[in-house]
Amino acid sequence: MMSVESLSISMSSFGLISLAEIGDKSLLVCMTPATQHRYWPDILGAMSALIFLNVLAFLFGTSGISLESNRYQLT
């Protein structure tokens, strides 16, 4: 189970990213086909792309942190 601190950090990150994405070009790109076609494929495609890119960012970020911590490891 997630701790209260982890949940708080996750929710604040979600909120900040959600606010930053309002009016973003990707929002407009997703809204345009959704007005002309069914919206579920559009939503699923946008969500899968967002999840994929965030997983990549997480993996690159954690690998960078581990490389830096190995470089400056205190003995």
Question: What is the reported pTM?
Answer: 0.50
Distance (Å, rounded) from C-alpha 31 to C-alpha 4?
35
- Please check whether residue 32 lies inside any domain of the structure: yes
DSSP conformation letters of 45-66: HHHHHHHHHHHHHHHHHHHHHH
- Cβ contacts of residue 34 below 8 Å, gap of 6+? 42, 43
Token output for 47: 């969500």
- Please check whether residue 46 lies inside any domain of the structure: yes
Distance (Å, rounded) from C-alpha 45 to C-alpha 66?
32
- Domain of residue 42: give its range: 24-75
Q: What is the pLDDT of residue 61?
A: 81
- Please check whether residue 41 lies inside any domain of the structure: yes
pLDDT digits (tens, 9 = 90+) for 33-72: 888 888 788 888 888 888 898 888 888 887 776 666 566 6
- Please check whether residue 73 lies inside any domain of the structure: yes
- Please check whether residue 75 lies inside any domain of the structure: yes
pLDDT digits (tens, 9 = 90+) for 4-27: 888 888 888 888 887 777 767 777
Token output for 41: 């494929």
* Count of domains observed in the chain: 1
